[in-house]
A and B are shown apart, each in its own frame.
Chain A
């Protein structure tokens, strides 16, 4: 599973994408992915709202995930 990171999420992780194999974690839903990110990168816990897209489509927490999905984590950005 490929996870693309934008905005502050990229800064927290330190790279613009990460790969998660099913050996690392079995993630079945967007909510599980969010929990995984907070466990792996505790600073994610500070982000109260970020959008998740699955295969370029905005996904609510209950959306199921598949092994080959492309995930994007999109926090809000404010600069101007």
Chain B
């Protein structure tokens, strides 16, 4: 390692070579290599964190590139952890990078997390966030939280030095459909960049002990107002009483069977003039849609299901395959005899395969 590499931060008062050594000795796990994970990984890697683990099982999609700036056009269709690993190695060959080509799940969470000092929750869904919280509480690991909604974001450090946890703020996981995610709601590309960088800063503070860690405080950023607001909150002792992980965190029983078809089958479905129902929003549909598909946004699905012919197979389509699954559940309740399929990976998968 070139001794000059980190001089611009080791000359900082309060940081010094001691701070640098603490970074070099640190083991940080980043869960999610998407909008938040990319800035977190980029800066922790650049600044000299010794060991970084990356957990993700997604592939790079063309719709990721506006905010996930580590990836380029040539990475579309490629595994995120593989693409990230290559870029991060080129950025800093001294870092020990470990990739976990999987989503964080009940069966692997404790084993993966226990090998690290600090966890960064850069995931994009509630089930993973609650799983991260519970596993970190059980293993007594601090975790740096960041999350987005449209032009806004939230940051906090949970379970740090006896401080409060995610469940002290939001005790129960919201129900499915209660709060939309980025796929449905949209996100301005720069916002995860800002929130992820704030997470990286908090991570560095937790490791080195500089400054005041954002523990017991929720930072809310509003990009449109360019405003930061901090809300104080306290530990609720019952949030620490987690003896074991839940059996599952997904909204629905993972053993439930959702009939699916692969996105590769779309060409064939189009040729057969199969009944494809696109459940994305009006804007998404106007931007791009398959020929001859029936369009009913998920929110209006049950009210407008009259335009679906339930005597024929119904192929439900959305951008990533999540909303089509929800649509399938909703329709199945009313039409248990019908033949319903969700298209796996949705248009993202289809377009990635076509390109």
Residues of the A chain whose Cβ atoms lie less than 8 Å from the Cβ of B346: none
B32 touches A79 (CB 8 A): no
Q: Which of B122, B230, B231 contacts A80 (CB 8 A)?
A: B122
Q: How many interface residues does chain A have, given as a range?
A: 20 to 34
Complex interface bits, A9-42 against B, C-beta within 8 A gives 1, otherwise 0:
0110000100000000000000000000000000
B242 at the interface (CB under 8 A from A): no
What is the CB-to-nearest-CB distance from A14 to chain B, in angstroms, rounded to a whole number? 13
Q: Which residues of B contact A (CB under 8 A)?
A: 32, 34-37, 122-126, 129, 146-150, 152-154, 169-172, 174-175, 177-182, 185, 187, 192, 218, 220, 222, 225, 229-234
Q: Which of A11, A16, A48, A58 contacts B178 (CB 8 A)?
A: A48
Residues of the B chain whose Cβ atoms lie less than 8 Å from the Cβ of A7: 149-150, 152, 179
Docked complex Cα distance between A78 and B233 (Å): 19
Complex interface bits, A57-80 against B, C-beta within 8 A gives 1, otherwise 0:
110000000000000101111111
The 7 closest A-B pairs by CB, nearest first: A80-B124, A58-B233, A77-B149, A79-B148, A79-B182, A7-B149, A53-B231
B178 touches A57 (CB 8 A): no
Residues of the A chain whose Cβ atoms lie less than 8 Å from the Cβ of B174: 47-49, 75-76
Docked complex Cα distance between A4 and B177 (Å): 23
Q: Which of A49, A75, A79 contacts B185 (CB 8 A)?
A: A79
Which residue of chain B lies nearest to A80 when distances are taken between CB atoms in the complex? B124
Docked complex Cα distance between A77 and B156 (Å): 13
Q: Which residues of A contact B (CB under 8 A)?
A: 4, 6-8, 10-11, 16, 46-49, 51, 53, 56-58, 72, 74-80
Q: Known contacts A74-B220, A80-B123: does B149 contact A49 (CB below 8 Å)?
A: no
What is the CB-to-nearest-CB distance from B331 to chain A, in angstroms, rounded to a whole number? 20
Docked complex Cα distance between A72 and B146 (Å): 19
Which of A46, A48, A51, A79 is most buried by chain B, counting CB atoms within 10 A of its CB?
Answer: A79
A74 touches B218 (CB 8 A): yes
What is the CB-to-nearest-CB distance from B60 to chain A, in angstroms, rounded to a whole number? 15
Q: Which of B150, B179, B182, B192 contacts A76 (CB 8 A)?
A: B179
B149 touches A72 (CB 8 A): no
Residues of the A chain whose Cβ atoms lie less than 8 Å from the Cβ of B182: 79-80
A75 touches B123 (CB 8 A): no
B220 touches A80 (CB 8 A): no
Which of A6, A8, A75, A78 is most buried by chain B, counting CB atoms within 10 A of its CB?
Answer: A78
A58 touches B152 (CB 8 A): no
B170 touches A80 (CB 8 A): no
Residues of the A chain whose Cβ atoms lie less than 8 Å from the Cβ of B34: 80
